[in-house]
Amino acid sequence: MADLLLQQSKAPPQPHRKPFVPWLQRRYTLELRQQLGWLQQLVIFVVSVLVGLLISGVILVAAGVSPHDILNEFVVQTFTDPQNLRAVLFQAAPMVMVGLAAAMAFRARFWNLGLEGQMVCGAIGATFVSLHEIGPPGLRLWLMAACALLGGLVWVVAPVLMKLRLGINEIISSLMLNYVAANFLLHLLYGSWKDPKDAFPYSPKFQPFERLPDLLDGFSSAILLAAVVAVAAWWFVDKSRAGLYLRFVHSNQRVADAVGVPVRRMVLGAVLLSGALAGLAGFMVAAGQEGRLTQAFYNGYGFSGILIAFLARNNPLAASAVAVLVATLFVAGRSLQVFYQIPFSMVQLIQAILVICVASSDFFIRHRLRAVGSKA
Amino acid sequence: MDLLTNWLGNMPGFAIPYALAALGLIVSERAGVLSLGAEGLMLVGALVGVGVQLAVHEPAIALLGSMAAAAVVSILFAVMVVWLRVNQVIAGLALVFFCQGLTGLVGSLMGWTNMPVTGLQNLDLGPLVQLPLVGRLFRQNTLVYLTPCIFGLVVWRLNHSLSGLRLRAVGENPQAADAAGIPVLRTRFLAILAGSALVGLAGGYISVVSTKLWIAGMTGGRGWIAVGLVIFARWSPWRAFVGALLFGCIEALIPQMAAAGISLPQYFVLMTPYLVTLGVMVWVALAGKGSDQTPGALGEPFLREERR
């Protein structure tokens, strides 16, 4: 045996040269990759985002916006004009919250598609406190936030219990509750909560102390709150024991269960937290942006949250960064709507294209093509 | 009595979109592809149906157009889940939002929003329509009569033809199907296209036949309800048909109650289809396993080189 090995190693290395076969004439096979370096992963990610933006740009040009204007609206205006930067951060606060909410649920492998409904319920909870003037003015804002947390949480209880107890698909159940919440919102806005001052379907204005105050220079405190929550969420998933358990649950539920991780409790907790965060996002829209209960939830916040969590790989800090970029998209989309009559659904389309490109690019991270001989 | 015939006469109009969409979903899901994109594909079907109808004024061509358009858009989904092996939930969601954005954009850029079209008219069955009391039941359009035929055809293809057997084999156990020489990826690709065409027809029905105009986001969650309906039907086409009729009955009841003078808070009434979907899913879960036709490999991408 040893002789054999020795002989083999002694044999002179044969020059390994195959005849060159043109690329298209080779036969390819697909195989799974074990691991790809982070740099290559990053390159693939960035390229896919750029491809997505390029496609979106082409669509915008086809819709009648000149390339120069696109660059101006999306890049120059946003980062040079402080007014616009303020608008972006203003928009970013609820985005960060829905992104975190989606990431929390996804970490427990729960497709929480009911983020919009939970936002609506959070906003309804906050408005309830405001309309009934519960608590002293100094505490009012905190009470509203607490009630919003509770509202969002209540709205996710049914889907998560149905999933854990009965094995019901949470995608459908949480989505159905979006429509229920939306109709309930309309019921309130066209009914008992309508502002008596005019005929529009929104609630009476919140009082000044019921709104998220401005910090220095006109930056809303909502973004500060969002940043604090993001850091807390990062601590939770990265440093705490529960976060470690959640990673167990995410990678393999059965193994997690076998080694004694309280899987059901972890899923329940993460999903309830997700609902509560979405409720807080609703509070930020109502008490931060609108100053009253309106129908401002129909801009596809739910999908934006999923997009943010997906692009950030469920990492809270990355989610915050992505949320700011999505907020940029929203702000630019609104000015496109005003100045170029491009409907706001363009923003939705761009987001979907980005998800499609990045999701498809995962293919190149997880697989590789290998040439095996020639076709002939 | 008048109320009853009116109710039952209106019912097919509400039930057909659910039935066709659920059938389309069953076709692709029996091949093992979880299709969450129905809501988006219905929107595409609805938009293109109205667009074609505005151009050629021929409802049959409009409905064919909505089928073709949904099939074309679903190529994107098929490439993602079949070739690129993207997570089918992510791909389905992305497809829904892609279609919502696209239809909103195209609809408003082309100026098709709120443009009334003639649409598909009711079929004149002569003496049957003139019958007292039950005459209302026969005032239906061609597609209502065609739908059971479509169901029969698809069920026959699925259960009694070689291509149907292959489709089910691919959805049940792609590894075994592959070993038996069935082209797994091609079968799934075609199943997605065929199923999506049916979903597109359902969308076309909503815009070209029912409302006779296009409004952005007009499907209002019907695609998602159809996804729930498929779960309720446990992937059996005829059970989906019955479920669709049930949903049609419930939705048709809403305007009838208003006509009968029963006043209910409007927005609570509008919630009922979604709440019924939830209730039905709970009921199915509690009722436990009947004859179950859940595809074994639903939602699993296939790669021959992957070891299991």
- Class of residue B23 by CB neighbours under 10 A (exposed 0-12, middle 13-18, buried 19+): buried
> Nearest-CA neighbor of A222 among A293, A287, A296, A151?
A287
Is the pLDDT confidence value at A12 over 70? no
Q: What is the mean pLDDT of residues B187-206?
A: 95
Q: Which residue has the higher pLDDT, B303 or B14?
A: B14
Q: Using the beta-carbon criterion (under 8 Å), do A342 and B105 form an inter-chain contact?
A: yes
CA distance A281 to A128: 16
In a domain, B299, yes or no: no
Is the pLDDT confidence value at A16 over 70? no
Give the least confident one: A17-21, A108-112, A207-211, B204-208.
A17-21
pLDDT value at position B76? 94
Question: What residues of chain A lie within 8 A of the CB of B280, using their CB?
Answer: none
Q: What is the mean pLDDT of residues B244-249?
A: 90
In a domain, B256, yes or no: yes
Confidence of residue A9 (pLDDT cuts 50, 70, 90): low
Angle between helices B38-56 and B2-30 (to 10 degrees): 110
CA distance B31 to B48: 27
Is the pLDDT confidence value at B70 over 90? yes
- Give the 3-state DSSP-derived string for chain A, with helices as H, strands as E and coil as C: CHHHHHHHHHCCCCCCCCCCCCHHHEEEEEEECCCCCHHHHHHHHHHHHHHHHHHHHHHHHHCCCCHHHHHHHHHHHHHHCHHHHHHHHHHHHHHHHHHHHHHHHHHCCCCCCCHHHHHHHHHHHHHHHHHCCCCCHHHHHHHHHHHHHHHHHHHHHHHHHHHHHHCCCHHHHHHHHHHHHHHHHHHHHHCCCCCCCCCCCCCCCCCHHHCCCECHHHCEHHHHHHHHHHHHHHHHHHCCHHHHHHHHHHHCHHHHHHCCCCHHHHHHHHHHHHHHHHHHHHHHHHHHHHCCCCCCCCCCHHHHHHHHHHHCCCCHHHHHHHHHHHHHHHHHHHHHHHHHCCCCHHHHHHHHHHHHHHHHHHHHHHEEEEEEEECC
State the smallest CA–CA distance between residue A183 and chain B in angstroms. 5
Q: Which residue has the higher pLDDT, A273 or B295?
A: A273
Residue A294 is encoded by which pair of tokens?
């309106």
pLDDT in tens, B13-47: 889 999 999 999 999 999 999 989 999 999 999 99
In a domain, B100, yes or no: yes
Q: Decide if B37 touches A, using CB distance below 8 A.
A: no
Q: Using the beta-carbon criterion (under 8 Å), do B282 and A168 form an inter-chain contact?
A: yes
- Class of residue A284 by CB neighbours under 10 A (exposed 0-12, middle 13-18, buried 19+): buried
pLDDT value at position A14? 60
How many CB pairs (< 8 A) connect A and B? Answer: 142
Is the pLDDT confidence value at B253 over 90? no
Q: Which residue has the higher pLDDT, A101 or B7?
A: A101
- Count the alpha carbons within 13 Å of B265 in the hemisphere toward its beta carbon: 13
pLDDT in tens, A346-362: 888 999 999 999 999 88
pLDDT in tens, B273-293: 899 889 988 888 888 665 567
Q: Which residue has the higher pLDDT, B123 or A112?
A: A112
Is the pLDDT confidence value at B49 over 90? yes
State the smallest CA–CA distance between residue A222 and chain B in angstroms. 27
Looking at residue B24, the DSSP 8-state letter turns out to be H
Average pLDDT over all residues of chain B: 87
The interface residues of chain A toward chain B in range 323-352, judged by CB-CB distance below 8 A, are 342-352
Is the pLDDT confidence value at A376 over 70? no
pLDDT value at position A117? 93
Closest in B85, B268, B286 to A363, CB measured = B85
pLDDT value at position A1? 47
Q: What is the mean pLDDT of residues A197-215?
A: 79
Q: Decide if B162 touches A, using CB distance below 8 A.
A: no
In a domain, B306, yes or no: no
pLDDT value at position A296? 77
pLDDT value at position A17? 65
Is the pLDDT confidence value at B131 over 80? no
In a domain, B21, yes or no: yes
Average pLDDT over all residues of chain A: 85
Contact A253, A260 (CB under 8 A): no
Contact B16, B147 (CB under 8 A): yes
Q: Decide if A313 touches B, using CB distance below 8 A.
A: no
Query: How far is C-alpha B152 from the chain's CA centre?
Result: 16
Find the CATH number of the domain harbouring B203. 1.10.3470
pLDDT value at position A233? 93
How many domains, in total, are found in chain B? Answer: 1
Query: How far is C-alpha B260 from the chain's CA centre?
Result: 30
Question: What residues of chain A lie within 8 A of the CB of B95, using their CB?
Answer: 352
Confidence of residue A32 (pLDDT cuts 50, 70, 90): confident
Q: What is the mean pLDDT of residues B88-93?
A: 90
Confidence of residue A63 (pLDDT cuts 50, 70, 90): confident
Q: Decide if B121 touches A, using CB distance below 8 A.
A: no
Give the least confident one: A75-89, B56-70, B228-242.
A75-89
Domain, as residue range, for B211: 2-287
Q: What is the mean pLDDT of residues A124-151?
A: 88
Residue B25 is encoded by which pair of tokens?
């979903």
Is the pLDDT confidence value at B259 over 60? yes
Q: Decide if B306 touches A, using CB distance below 8 A.
A: yes
pLDDT value at position A27? 76
Is the pLDDT confidence value at A265 over 60? yes
Q: Using the beta-carbon criterion (under 8 Å), do B86 and A359 form an inter-chain contact?
A: yes
In a domain, B304, yes or no: no
**CB atoms closer than 10 angstroms to residue A235:** 12
- Give the 3-state DSSP-derived string for B277-304, with helices as H, strands as E and coil as C: HHHHHHHHHHHCCCCCCCCCCCCCCCCC
Closest in A63, A183, A363 to B105, CB measured = A63
Question: What residues of chain B lie within 8 A of the CB of A295, using their CB?
Answer: none
Confidence of residue B267 (pLDDT cuts 50, 70, 90): confident
Contact B25, B197 (CB under 8 A): no
Q: Using the beta-carbon criterion (under 8 Å), do A172 and B277 form an inter-chain contact?
A: yes
CA distance A229 to A64: 40
Each domain of chain A, given as residue ranges in start order, spans: 100-312
Looking at residue B84, the DSSP 8-state letter turns out to be S
b/e per residue A89-119 (b: at least 16 CB within 10 A) = bbbbbbbbbbbbbbbbbbbbbbbbbbbbbbb
pLDDT value at position A11? 55
In a domain, B202, yes or no: yes
Q: Decide if B36 touches A, using CB distance below 8 A.
A: yes
Q: Decide if B279 touches A, using CB distance below 8 A.
A: no
List, as one string, the DSSP characters of B215-238.
Answer: -TTTTTTHHHHHHHHHHHTTT-HH
Confidence of residue A8 (pLDDT cuts 50, 70, 90): low
Q: Give the residue on A whose Cα is nearest the Cα of B281.
A: A168
The interface residues of chain A toward chain B in range 2-61, judged by CB-CB distance below 8 A, are 29-32, 59
SS3 B248: helix
Confidence of residue B153 (pLDDT cuts 50, 70, 90): very high
Give the least confident one: A17-31, A100-114, A165-179, B228-242.
A17-31
Interface mutation target, options A192, A356, A370, chain B, most CBs of B under 10 Å: A356
Q: What is the mean pLDDT of residues A22-37?
A: 76
Residues 6+ apart with CB under 8 A from B107: B47, B113, B214, B216
Q: Which residue has the higher pLDDT, A137 or A45?
A: A45
Q: Give the residue on B whose Cα is nearest the Cα of A310.
A: B90
Residue B143 is encoded by which pair of tokens?
């597609």
CA distance A202 to A206: 11
Q: Decide if A168 touches B, using CB distance below 8 A.
A: yes
Q: State whether ipTM is beyond 0.90.
A: no
SS3 B114: coil
State the smallest CA–CA distance between residue A34 and chain B in angstroms. 12
Confidence of residue B193 (pLDDT cuts 50, 70, 90): very high
Residues 6+ apart with CB under 8 A from B200: B24, B41, B42, B44, B45, B48, B66, B67, B68, B69, B70, B71
Q: Which residue has the higher pLDDT, A15 or B16?
A: B16
Q: What is the mean pLDDT of residues A326-333?
A: 88
Give the least confident one: A28-37, A117-126, B42-51.
A28-37
Q: What is the CA radius of gyration of chain A?
A: 25
Q: Which residue has the higher pLDDT, B163 or B114?
A: B163
CA distance A90 to A80: 16
pTM of the model: 0.88
SS3 B1: coil
pLDDT value at position B223? 92
Cross-strand bridge partners of residue A30: A369
In a domain, B293, yes or no: no
Q: Using the beta-carbon criterion (under 8 Å), do B281 and A169 form an inter-chain contact?
A: yes
Q: Using the beta-carbon criterion (under 8 Å), do B305 and A184 form an inter-chain contact?
A: no
